[in-house]
A = this chain, B = another copy of it.
Amino acid sequence: MTAGIRHDEMRKRNRALVIAAVRQAGQPSRTEIVRRTGLSHSTISAIAADLIEEGTMRETGQGEPMPAKRGRPQVAIGLNPEAAAVVCLYLSFNCLSIVLVDYRGEVIEQRKHRLTTLALSRQELLDAVVSAVADIARGHGRVMHIACAMQGIADSAERLLLWSPITPHSNLPIGPTLEAAFRLPVTVQNDCNMMAVALRWLNPDRYGDNFIAVLLSHGIGMGLVLNGKMFTGTRSSAGEFGHMVHEPGGALCRCGRRGCIEAYAGNYAIWRKALGKSAEEPPVADIEAAEMEALAELARREDGPARLAFREAGRALGYGLGNLFALIDPAPVAVVGQGAAAFDILEPEIRRALAETAGGQHAEAISFQTLPKEVPLILHGAAMTALTSLDRETFAPGLSTSANGRAERRAHVA
């Protein structure tokens, strides 16, 4: 049983709706917002006036040069870049990428720190993150949110990094640490989920209510959007696609179990097989991108263990996707990361395996898009997560009239 709709909440929701419409449309006119939200001209006029006066939005002359029509020209409205800023960071193996983004979503500043994540102590790792944030936020007064994306299993509610391949430590309190240091709301999310969020913003036609983002890199990750919502099981991890069992008792996986998809399709698995090593060989910690590229080139050129390795990877991925599709019906797939660069080698085998599964009944109709660079995608997803959270929680509840007082009183009581 959800709460009933109160009168003041209606305004709050409609404000949020207007902000969302502007964020999606870029620089819509009031009339365009009317069309998108279904609200009346009068209401949009009132809400827009409020939001402009509060500094959340601003009139931006003519955004795109509208086709010169007769009649009063439309006034474009955009989000005010100075209304807020957010810091987004992506913690991955030996690398901390960090960006400062304005309220519109434009990157203000961008840095990359190299660090040996496996060697750092708990405290050193936390310190590195805190100082990177402090560093990039320095001199920018309006930072209002910090969004963290990370490899591994995150607990979004508690904002912990439960487990990650990049560090031997578990239950890292990234969220609480940042919150204590900066007194700002912090979100902690799995990197693949952030990819999915980004894809949705970048290409809503293709990535609509149901789709899958697969990260093929040293490990295998997945972000799942189902029924129009990011799916994040009970924790924020879910989508442990890479650790579905492909062959019971099969190859040794980084997670210590056997036969996982990742143990056939992760970089380390392809590398291991291509170099003729045993499937029992413990996974190496990292492989240079150039080295994987060289293996792919070799596999393209000649028949041999390299080609076999990629084939086996494709087969594991195909069966895995087929099993997934059996559960959730076929949906568009985005293949992101290192593996996207070698997708030409993987694809035939993926489709062959898919065709043998229930989910792949029309295997040829399933559509893949490849995006080799994952980092910009992940950071963009984190930024949009942070910004939409601001939209809702900071800019929507602030009512301009006295109803505000009422809402606040209620909040204190509850």
Residues on A lying within 8 angstroms of B by beta carbon are: 1-7, 10, 13-14, 17, 20-21, 24, 36-39, 43, 210, 222, 224, 226-227, 229, 231, 233-235, 237-241, 243-245, 247-249, 255, 257-258, 260, 319, 322-324, 326-331, 353, 356-359
User: Given that A245-B319, A323-B244, A358-B255 are contacting pairs, would A233 and B4 also be in contact in the complex, using a CB cutoff of 8 Å?
Assistant: no
B1 to A21, Cβ gap below 8 A? Answer: yes
Cβ distance A172 to chain B, nearest Cβ, rounded Å? 19
B5 to A233, Cβ gap below 8 A? Answer: no
CB-CB under 8 A from A322, the residues of chain B are 245
Distance A353 CA – B226 CA, assembled complex (angstroms): 28
B231 to A226, Cβ gap below 8 A? Answer: yes
B358 to A233, Cβ gap below 8 A? Answer: no
Can you report 19 A-B residue pairs in the complex whose CB atoms are below 8 A from each other? A1-B20, A1-B36, A1-B37, A4-B13, A4-B17, A4-B39, A7-B10, A10-B10, A210-B234, A233-B328, A234-B329, A234-B330, A240-B358, A240-B359, A241-B327, A244-B326, A244-B327, A245-B358, A324-B327
Cβ distance A230 to chain B, nearest Cβ, rounded Å? 9
Distance A5 CA – B24 CA, assembled complex (angstroms): 19
- Identify the closest chain B residue to A262 (Cβ): B358
A328 to B38, Cβ gap below 8 A? Answer: no
Q: Which residue among A4, A21, A43 has the maximum number of chain B CB atoms within 10 Å of its CB?
A: A4
B4 to A38, Cβ gap below 8 A? Answer: yes
User: Given that A5-B5, A327-B239 are contacting pairs, would A357 and B245 also be in contact in the complex, using a CB cutoff of 8 Å?
Assistant: yes
Distance A151 CA – B37 CA, assembled complex (angstroms): 40
- Identify the closest chain B residue to A414 (Cβ): B38
Distance A87 CA – B242 CA, assembled complex (angstroms): 45
B24 to A14, Cβ gap below 8 A? Answer: no
Q: Which residue among A7, A210, A222, A243 has the maximum number of chain B CB atoms within 10 Å of its CB?
A: A243
CB-CB under 8 A from A234, the residues of chain B are 210, 329-331
User: Given that A4-B14, A257-B356, A358-B260 are contacting pairs, would A323 and B38 also be in contact in the complex, using a CB cutoff of 8 Å?
Assistant: no
Cβ distance A367 to chain B, nearest Cβ, rounded Å? 14
B245 to A233, Cβ gap below 8 A? Answer: no
B10 to A238, Cβ gap below 8 A? Answer: no
Distance A190 CA – B412 CA, assembled complex (angstroms): 46
A358 to B243, Cβ gap below 8 A? Answer: yes
Contact of A248 among B235, B258, B356 (CB under 8 A): B356
B5 to A245, Cβ gap below 8 A? Answer: no
A356 to B235, Cβ gap below 8 A? Answer: no
- Identify the closest chain B residue to A209 (Cβ): B234
Distance A178 CA – B20 CA, assembled complex (angstroms): 42
User: Given that A233-B328, A241-B327, A257-B356 are contacting pairs, would A17 and B2 also be in contact in the complex, using a CB cutoff of 8 Å?
Assistant: yes
Cβ distance A312 to chain B, nearest Cβ, rounded Å? 12
Given A3-B38, A5-B17; 11 other pairs, CB 8 A cutoff: A1-B17, A1-B20, A2-B17, A4-B17, A222-B327, A234-B331, A240-B327, A240-B359, A244-B326, A245-B322, A248-B319
Distance A48 CA – B234 CA, assembled complex (angstroms): 37
Distance A241 CA – B324 CA, assembled complex (angstroms): 9
Distance A240 CA – B234 CA, assembled complex (angstroms): 22
B257 to A357, Cβ gap below 8 A? Answer: yes
